Structure 1
Amino acid sequence: MDPIRIAIVGMGKIARDQHVPAILGNNAFSLAATVSPRDSGLEDVPHHRALDALLDEGPAVDAVALCTPPQVRYDLAALALRRGVHVFLEKPPGATLSEVAALKSLAEKTGATLFASWHSRFAAGVAPARAWLAERRIDAVSIVWREDVRVWHPGQDWIWEPGGLGVFDPGINALSIVTHILPRPFFLKEATLVLPENRAAPIAADIQFRDTAGAPIHMDLDWRQTGPQSWDIVVETDAGTLKLANGGAVLSLPSGTEHSEDVEYPGLYSRFATLIRGGRSDVDIDPLRLVADAFLRGRRETTDAFYD
């Protein structure tokens, strides 16, 4: 079977650090081209400044991975889908829920695969955590996702603009895990969003959710953490405590702790290849919907101006 010819659109840090090695390490794909208006691309890989130029002039591609900021992703995805090209969407899948719904409808009409990826779901501890929780009574959940924005998003002004999500850019990773591992749906009850006086997106948030059986779920997000970073989910159950640490890579159960290597992006590309070969799409918007609820219902507080 011939490999899937894929182009990366948007050659920022995530593309170079994660997408390129995951594609090169998967025999189901061949990296056919890159696209970026500012970056010069990779040595020995054809490069274009715009996606329409690639699709018009070649080389031919079967799929694209969109690694651009979410605010510009809809037009790129729609262009590719209309050409019958499969689309991998980095998280979050769009700047709005309506954009993603429109893309899903377009993919259904064209028959191309649309994959709304959530890389944290492919962290090594997530699948066994989901299996262990499937038949447990959930009593309470705590999510602490605190990191230093200067380390992870230096100089990325788009992330502070409307649609860039602010601290929910990492926070949505936690929500992608929790919506996947908990056996029941949950919804927002109240939220406080803390916005720097010079930014349009929050730098911190405190959120209260509740699942459909009444279990409380508390989420603490902060982009001002220095020193050790915190990406932890703790689930209290009738059978003891489950903890996912390091973004889902380390799973602790009453029976012991398991440490595993980073398998997120290789897992994403294996999933994308399976979807393409099967003629299917995977467009889960639950994490983005919860973020939208926080923006819809959350109380705003203003804090000191933030500068990189």
Structure 2
Amino acid sequence: MTAPIRLALVGMGKIAHDQHLPAIAAGQSFDLVATVSRSGESVGGLPFFRDVYELAASGLEVDAVSLCTPPQVRRAIAQYCIGQGWHVFLEKPPGATLAEVIALRDAAAAKGVSLFASWHSRYADGVEPARAWLAEREVKRAKITWREDVRVWHPGQDWIWEPGGFGVFDPGINALSIATRILPRPFFVETAELDVPSNRAAPIAARVSFRDTAGAEIAMDLDFRQEGPQHWDIEVETDDGTLLLSKGGSVLTIDGKEALAHDADLHGEYPGLYHRFGAIVRAGVSDVDVSPLRAVADVFLRGRHISVEPFVE
């Protein structure tokens, strides 16, 4: 496939407008041909449809879809799209459960289409340099601090508080997508405490202790109630200095000296995702790494749930 890949964007919420549309427009791999939304939202006069079934029935030529729906409803939509022979881009988290994502991976392989479980934070500019630096050093300990204001970043998104919505692990899984990429050894949950508002089904904060296969501790602190400065940081102490990834992975500091920085949040992340999606489609392969989702699932399996005050937006 050498011509632009004909793409439909499914689910026209905040992330689709803020990240997907600009990234698609800026790249050359994809040609946006339609949008799909329950509200029937058109972009630039393109055809729009209420659901993927209506899209398929229209006869419009589509090669691939990007699914930006909440994770709770994504599996059935993705399964249908795979059945149509469309390549599928899954916004993170790729599904509500591990079993869903594995089933989609197997279905895509059987159909011969590409499936991409996207982890946008892995495409932040500091991530690969951090991975390379850590690969040559011994990790002693690490700390993940991911604190943001849910009212700012997820306004009116009630789905995030429902079962399968992940709560604070919706952003927390971004941190885990970076940690599972840059840390040289596998790590596992030892203990976890999950603060769950009494009127919600998903946690608003969490404290997790991981340990890797060599015994190094990785502490994780998540909180959706952060006001003022927001924190998206991973600090790793090694036998040869301390590495800090801040601002969600876009700024890399080693021993207090900034090694890489960009002013814009999410600099290059979604263009990077679409570059990767285009590459796997053209290569006829899939990219489905479930390690960040597995880490979250393990936290929920081992975590102690603590009821806290109600959350009202």
State how far apart, in whole Å, the 1-side matches of 2:256 and 2:11 are.
43
1:254 Cα deviation after fit: 3.1
1:35-56 deviation per Cα after TM superposition (whole angstroms, max 9, x unaligned) = 0012523131110001111112
1:292 Cα deviation after fit: 0.5
1:256 Cα deviation after fit: 2.7
1:79-107 deviation per Cα after TM superposition (whole angstroms, max 9, x unaligned) = 01111100000000000000001000000
Q: Does 1:102 align with 2:107?
A: no
State how far apart, in whole Å, the 2-side matches of 1:286 and 1:90 are.
15
1:133-154 deviation per Cα after TM superposition (whole angstroms, max 9, x unaligned) = 0021000000000000000111
Aligned to 1:2: 3
| Amino acid aligned to 2:191 | E
| Amino acid aligned to 1:4 | I
1:123 Cα deviation after fit: 0.2
Aligned to 1:64: 65
2:40–2:49: 8 Å Cα contact kept in structure 1?
Answer: no
2:126–2:245: 8 Å Cα contact kept in structure 1?
Answer: yes
Q: Does 1:175 align with 2:204?
A: no
| Amino acid aligned to 1:216 | E
Aligned to 1:152: 153
| Amino acid aligned to 1:306 | F
State how far apart, in whole Å, the 2-side matches of 1:293 and 1:66 are.
25
1:274-306 deviation per Cα after TM superposition (whole angstroms, max 9, x unaligned) = 000000000000000010011111001011000
Matches within 5 A, 1:6-85: 6-85=7-86
| Amino acid aligned to 1:259 | A
Aligned to 1:199: 200
What is the TM-score of this pair, normalised by structure 2?
A: 0.97
Give the alignment partner of residue 299 of structure 1, picking from 284, 297, 304.
Answer: 304
Aligned to 1:283: 288
Question: Please, which runs of 5 or more residues in structure 2 have no aligned partner?
Answer: none
What is the TM-score of this pair, normalised by structure 1?
A: 0.99
| Amino acid aligned to 1:183 | P
Aligned to 1:267: 272
State how far apart, in whole Å, the 1-side matches of 2:91 and 2:33 are.
18
Structure 1 segments, 4+ long, off by >6 Å, are: none
Q: Percent identity?
A: 61
Question: Please, which runs of 5 or more residues in structure 1 have no aligned partner?
Answer: none
Counting matched residue pairs gives: 308
Seen in structure 2, the aligned counterparts of structure 1 residues 255 and 205 have a Cα distance that, compared at 3 Å, is: closer
Pairwise CA RMSD of aligned residues?
A: 0.9
1:198-241 deviation per Cα after TM superposition (whole angstroms, max 9, x unaligned) = 00000000000000000000000000000110000000001100
1:6 Cα deviation after fit: 0.4
